[in-house]
């Protein structure tokens, strides 16, 4: 249903890109250097979650904004307390008199996340990117963004400043049985997406579903009940979870919170900035060592880890960070 990968190599700026198959939709975790991400992939992004605004996590904002300028787009940004000030600072560092000539709508929503509240601001190109206050809302169950097929949750961790970690949780997976379609003599097509939507929205079984196809000039149209289609056509399986944790101090409280938050993830993106022999330095700079990252992942029962944010000091021996983390992940130390 989706693919997830790092934006750069593990020594580059942190960031993960998650793309949904068959949909023009993608999500970014962190917004560091994104020059290596092809523009067509960046243009699919409509939500960006920024852990904190240290430069290596936010320098890509200008690049992204420039790419979007002439496009019809609505973008949601999420960041920690003070985030709107950072965005405002970036936007007000440019002169915008020429955007009067643009006819497209580019709306940027900035969501400042503070514990279980979010404060939202809007910057509209058509309004000269002047900040507008949208209001405050409560965050329930940590859900920052509720999508049709997934939710993105966030928690605040200690990096000597608040730093957010994120988890994308896919809703149930609705798979269509090809044999079912053949047996019922029904076409494939757009209507299947509508069917999935109705199932994920828990609509009642007697809801009518319009089945249609315009393929090869032979129009097909009929109606069946949601209940019948569910029974004969559909396999529902639980969705997957992808988590992203970076720039955190190794302490008891952070560990407890991370383990709770990322538990059961299919993939955990986690920083592994230093080797354990440099754990003092890691502590001073509020980062995890590879061993700590592997250990956290093992205790949280995640299936797979992807490591990043390697310190440049290990440029020639990145494999040592990988090996150390994997050893801890397998419980071999």
Q: Does 283 bind Zn ion (CB under 5 A)?
A: no
Identify which range of 49-57, 83-91, 182-190, 256-264 contacts Zn ion by CB under 5 A: 49-57
Tell the smallest beta-carbon distance from residue 119 to Zn ion (Å).
22
Tell the smallest beta-carbon distance from residue 54 to Zn ion (Å).
4
Identify which range of 72-80, 88-96, 172-180, 242-250 contacts Zn ion by CB under 5 A: 242-250
Cα–Cα dist 47/109, whole Å: 9
Out of 33, 112, 247, 295, the residue judged to bind Zn ion by CB under 5 A: 247
Nearest Cα residue to 144 out of 175, 180, 110, 177: 110
CA dihedral 90, 95, 96, 98 (to 10 degrees): -150
Identify which range of 46-54, 234-242, 251-259, 320-328 contacts Zn ion by CB under 5 A: 46-54
What is residue 270's DSSP assignment? E
What is residue 330's DSSP assignment? T
Nearer to Zn ion, 74 or 160 (CB): 160
Nearer to Zn ion, 151 or 247 (CB): 247
Tell the smallest beta-carbon distance from residue 247 to Zn ion (Å).
4
Nearer to Zn ion, 56 or 324 (CB): 56
Place of tokens 């990322």: 262
Contact at 8 Å (CB) between 32 and 14?
A: yes
Q: What does the DSSP assignment read for 34-70?
A: -TTS-HHHHTTEEEEE-S--SHHHHTTHHHHHHHHTT
Tell the smallest beta-carbon distance from residue 255 to Zn ion (Å).
18
Phi and psi for 186 in degrees, rounded to 5?
A: -115, 150
Helices (H), the chain: 39-42, 55-58, 61-68, 83-91, 178-184, 191-200, 226-233, 252-262, 279-284, 290-299, 318-329
The site for Zn ion, by CB under 5 A, has a size of 3
Out of 30, 33, 56, 170, the residue judged to bind Zn ion by CB under 5 A: 56
Nearer to Zn ion, 54 or 232 (CB): 54
Nearer to Zn ion, 209 or 321 (CB): 321
Q: Does 281 bind Zn ion (CB under 5 A)?
A: no
Identify which range of 48-56, 96-104, 205-213, 230-238 contacts Zn ion by CB under 5 A: 48-56
Tell the smallest beta-carbon distance from residue 320 to Zn ion (Å).
20
Q: Does 151 bind Zn ion (CB under 5 A)?
A: no
Out of 54, 90, 281, 299, the residue judged to bind Zn ion by CB under 5 A: 54
Where does residue 164 rank: exposed (0-12), middle (13-18), buried (19+ CB within 10 A)?
Answer: buried
Contact at 8 Å (CB) between 130 and 123?
A: yes
Cα–Cα dist 257/248, whole Å: 11
Nearer to Zn ion, 192 or 258 (CB): 258
Identify which range of 105-113, 192-200, 246-254, 296-304 contacts Zn ion by CB under 5 A: 246-254
Crossing angle of the two packed helices 290-299 and 252-262, in degrees rounded to 10 = 50
Tell the smallest beta-carbon distance from residue 127 to Zn ion (Å).
32
Nearer to Zn ion, 54 or 230 (CB): 54
- Would you state the structure tokens that stand for residue 116, as one six-digit string? 């279980």
Tell the smallest beta-carbon distance from residue 188 to Zn ion (Å).
45
Tell the smallest beta-carbon distance from residue 232 to Zn ion (Å).
51
Place of tokens 């053949």: 182
- Would you state the structure tokens that stand for residue 311, as one six-digit string? 């310190």
Residue ranges that bind Zn ion, judged by CB under 5 A: 54, 56, 247
């Amino acid at each position: 249903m989706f693919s997830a990968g790092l934006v750069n190599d593990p020594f580059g700026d942190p960031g993960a890109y998650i793309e949904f198959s068959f949909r023009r939709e993608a999500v970014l975790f962190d917004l560091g250097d994104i020059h290596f991400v092809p523009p067509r992939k960046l243009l699919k992004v409509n939500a960006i979650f920024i852990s904190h605004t240290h430069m290596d996590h936010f320098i890509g904002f200008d690049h992204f904004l420039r790419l979007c300028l002439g496009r019809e787009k609505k973008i949601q940004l999420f960041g920690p307390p003070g985030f709107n000030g950072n965005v405002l600072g970036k936007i007000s560092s440019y002169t915008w008199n020429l955007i009067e000539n643009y006819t497209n709508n580019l709306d940027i929503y900035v969501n400042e996340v503070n514990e279980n509240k979010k404060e939202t601001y809007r910057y509209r190109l058509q309004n000269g990117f002047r900040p507008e206050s949208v209001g405050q809302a409560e965050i329930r169950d940590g859900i920052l963004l509720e999508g049709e097929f997934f939710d993105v949750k966030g928690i605040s961790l200690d990096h000597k400043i608040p730093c957010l970690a994120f988890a994308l949780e896919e809703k149930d997976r609705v798979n269509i049985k090809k044999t079912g379609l053949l047996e019922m003599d029904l076409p494939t097509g757009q209507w299947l997406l509508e069917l999935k939507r109705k199932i994920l929205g828990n609509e009642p079984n007697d809801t009518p579903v319009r089945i249609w196809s315009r393929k090869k000039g032979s129009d097909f149209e009929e109606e069946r009940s949601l209940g019948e289609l569910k029974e004969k056509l559909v396999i529902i399986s639980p969705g997957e979870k992808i988590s992203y944790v970076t720039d955190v101090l190794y302490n008891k409280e952070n560990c407890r919170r991370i383990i709770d938050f990322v538990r059961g993830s299919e993939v955990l993106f986690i920083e592994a900035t230093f080797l354990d022999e440099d754990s003092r330095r890691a502590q001073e700079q509020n980062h995890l060592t590879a061993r700590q990252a592997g250990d956290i992942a093992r205790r949280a029962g995640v299936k797979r880890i992807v490591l990043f944010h390697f310190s440049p000091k290990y440029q020639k021996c990145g494999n040592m960070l990988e090996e150390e983390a994997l050893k801890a992940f397998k419980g071999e130390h």
